[in-house]
A and B are shown apart, each in its own frame.
Chain A
Amino acid sequence: MTISSSGPSTSAADEAKRARIRASLARRHLTERIFKGLGVAAVVTALALVGTLFWMVISKGYPAFTQANVALEVYFDPEIIDVDAAPVRAAGQSDADFRAQNLAWQRQVTLANWNAIVEQAVRDAAPAGFEIDARSALALVETGERHRLRDLFVANPALLGQRVPVEMLASANTDNWLKGTINRDLEDSRQQLSAQTRALADQLLENGTISFKFAWHIFTNVDSRSAPASAGLAGAFVGSLYMMLIVILLAVPIGVASAIYLEEFAPKNRWTDLIEVNINNLAAVPSIVFGLLGAAAFIQYFGLPRSAPIVGGLVLTLMTLPTIIIATRSSLRAVPPSLRQAALGLGASKTQMVFHHVLPVTLPGILTATIIGVAQALGETAPLLIIGMNAFVASIPATPFDQASALPAQIYLWQGNENRNFFEARTSAAIMVLLALMLALNAIAVLLRRRLERRG
Chain B
Amino acid sequence: MDMMAGKFAANVTPLEEGMSLSDHPIRLEARDVCVHYGAKQALYDVSIDIPDRAVTAFIGPSGCGKSTFLRCINRMNDTIEGARVTGRIALDGEDVYDRSLDVVELRARVGMVFQKPNPFPKSIFENVAYGPKIHGMVRNKAEAEEVVVSSLKRAGLFEEVKDRLHEPGTGLSGGQQQRLCIARAIATRPEVLLMDEPCSALDPIATAIIEELIDELRENFTIVIVTHSMQQAARVSQKTAFFHLGKLIEEGDTANIFTNPAKKQTQDYIMGRIG
**B105 within 8 Å of A (CB atoms):** yes
A337 within 8 A of partner (CB): yes
The answer to the question of B31 belonging to the interface, with a C-beta cut-off of 8 Å to chain A, is no
Flag whether B166 is at the interface (Cβ < 8 A). Answer: no
From known contacts A339-B118, A342-B114, infer whether A347 and B188 are also in contact, taking CB-CB under 8 Å: yes
Report whether B188 and A456 are in contact in the complex, using a CB–CB cutoff of 8 Å: no
CB pair B79–A341 under 8 Å, yes or no, is: yes
A338 within 8 A of B: yes
**Bound Cα distance from A361 to B119, whole angstroms:** 13
B116 within 8 A of A: yes
In the docked arrangement, what's the CA distance between A340 and B107, Å? 13
A340: which B residues are within 8 A, CB to CB?
A: 79
- State whether the Cβ of A357 lies closer than 8 Å to any Cβ in chain B: yes
Find out whether the CB atom of A341 lies under 8 angstroms from the CB atom of B76: yes
Within 8 A of B (CB), among A45-84: none
Q: What A residues does B131 contact at CB under 8 A?
A: 346-347
Asked if A183 is at the interface (CB within 8 A of a chain B CB), the reply is no
A347 x B105 contact (CB < 8 A): yes
Interface string of B173-200 (1 = CB under 8 A from A): 0000000010011001000000000000
Chain A residues closer than 8 Å to B114, beta-carbon distance = 338, 341-342, 345
Known: A337-B79, A356-B130. A342 touches B108 (CB 8 A): no
Verify if A344 is at the interface (C-beta below 8 Å from B): yes
* Cα-based distance from A61 to B74 in the complex (angstroms): 66
Chain A residues, CB < 8 A from B76 = 341, 344-345
Q: How far is the CB of A452 from chain B (nearest CB, A)?
A: 12
> Is A346's CB under 8 angstroms from B107's CB?
yes
Given A346-B185, A347-B131, A347-B134: A341 in contact with B120 (beta carbons within 8 A): no
Check if B81 is an interface residue, CB within 8 A of chain A.
yes
Query: Would B108 and A347 count as touching, CB distance under 8 A?
Result: yes
How distant is the Cα of A343 from the Cα of B184 in the complex, in angstroms? 11
CB <8 Å contact, A345 and B112 = yes
Q: Does B65 contact A (CB under 8 A)?
A: no
Please encode chain B, from 107 to 130, with 1 for each CB lying within 8 Å of some chain A CB and 0 for all others. Answer: 111011010101111100000001
Cβ–Cβ contact A346 & B130, under 8 A:
yes
CA distance A339 to B79 in the complex (A): 12
Give the chain A neighbours of B135 by CB distance below 8 A. 347
**B104 contacts chain A at the CB level, 8 A cutoff:** yes
Tell yes or no: A349 within 8 A of B by CB.
Answer: yes
Instruction: Annotate A325-368 by CB proximity to B: 1 below 8 A, 0 otherwise.
Output: 00000000000011111111111110010001100110000000
What is the CA–CA distance of A342 and B130 in the complex, to the nearest angstrom?
A: 11
Which residues on B sit within 8 Å (CB–CB) of A456?
121-122
Q: How far is the CA of A360 from the CA of B122 in the complex (A)?
A: 10
- B193-248 residues with Cβ-Cβ distance < 8 A to A are none
A268 in contact (CB, < 8 A)? yes
Q: Which of B122-169 contact A (CB under 8 A)?
A: 122, 130-131, 134-135
Chain B residues with CB below 8 A from A342, complex form: 114, 118-120, 181
Residues of B within 8 A of A352 (CB): 134
| A348 x B111 contact (CB < 8 A) | no
Cα A340 to Cα B121 with chains together (Å) = 12
Q: Give chain B residues whose Cβ lies under 8 Å from the Cβ of A349.
A: 104
> In residues 262-298 of chain A, which contact B (Cβ within 8 Å)?
268
CB pair B118–A348 under 8 Å, yes or no, is no
Query: CB-nearest residue of chain B relative to A347?
Result: B108
CB-CB under 8 A for A347 and B107, given A341-B118, A342-B119, A456-B121: yes
Smallest CB gap from B119: residue in A: A342
Q: Would B188 and A339 count as touching, CB distance under 8 A?
A: no
Flag if A357 contacts B120 (CB, 8 Å). yes
A357→B126 CA distance, assembly (Å): 11
**What separation, in Å, do the CA atoms of A352 and B120 have in the docked complex?**
13
Is the Cβ of B121 less than 8 Å from the Cβ of A361? yes
**B111→A345 contact, CB < 8 A:** yes
* CB pair B107 A345 closer than 8 Å: yes
Mark interface residues in A116-137 (1 if CB within 8 Å of B CB, else 0): 0000000000000000000000
B104 engages A347 (CB within 8 Å): yes
Complexed CA–CA distance, A344 and B108 (Å): 9
Decide if B121 touches A343 in the complex (CB within 8 Å): no
Complex alpha-carbon distance, A348 and B109, angstroms:
12
Cα distance, A341 to B81, chains bound together (Å): 13
Q: How far is the CB of A302 from chain B (nearest CB, A)?
A: 42
Known: A337-B79, A352-B134, A356-B130. A343 touches B105 (CB 8 A): no
Q: Give A352 to B134 CA distance when docked, in angstroms.
A: 9
Contact A344 B130 (CB under 8 A): no
B104 near A348 with CB under 8 A, answer yes
Which of A344, A346, A356 lies at the interface centre, i.e. has the most chain B CB atoms within 10 A of its CB?
A346
Contacts of B79 on A, CB cut-off 8 Å? 337, 340-341, 344
Which of chain B's residues has its CB closest to A336's CB?
Answer: B118
Q: Are B81 and A268 in contact (CB under 8 A)?
A: yes
C-alpha spacing A347/B188, complex, angstroms: 9
Q: Chain B residues with Cβ under 8 A from A344's Cβ?
A: 76, 79, 107
Partner of A338, one of B118, B122, B134, B188: B118
User: Closest CB-CB distance, A390 to chain B, in whole Å?
Assistant: 48
A357 to B122, CA, bound (A): 9
Contact: B185 with A338, CB < 8 Å?
Answer: no
Report Cα–Cα, A348/B130, bound state, in Å. Answer: 9
Point out residues on B near A: beta carbons under 8 Å.
74, 76, 79, 81, 104-105, 107-109, 111-112, 114, 116, 118-122, 130-131, 134-135, 181, 184-185, 188
Beyond the given A338-B118, A347-B134, could you list 9 further A-B residue pairs with CB under 8 A, ordered by the A residue number?
A338-B116, A339-B121, A342-B181, A346-B184, A346-B188, A347-B131, A348-B134, A356-B130, A456-B122
19 contacts between A and B (CB under 8 A): A337-B79, A338-B114, A338-B116, A338-B118, A339-B120, A340-B79, A341-B79, A341-B118, A342-B118, A346-B107, A346-B130, A346-B131, A346-B184, A347-B105, A347-B131, A347-B188, A348-B130, A348-B134, A349-B104
Closest 10 CB pairs of A and B: A347-B108, A338-B118, A347-B107, A342-B118, A346-B131, A345-B112, A349-B104, A347-B104, A348-B134, A352-B134
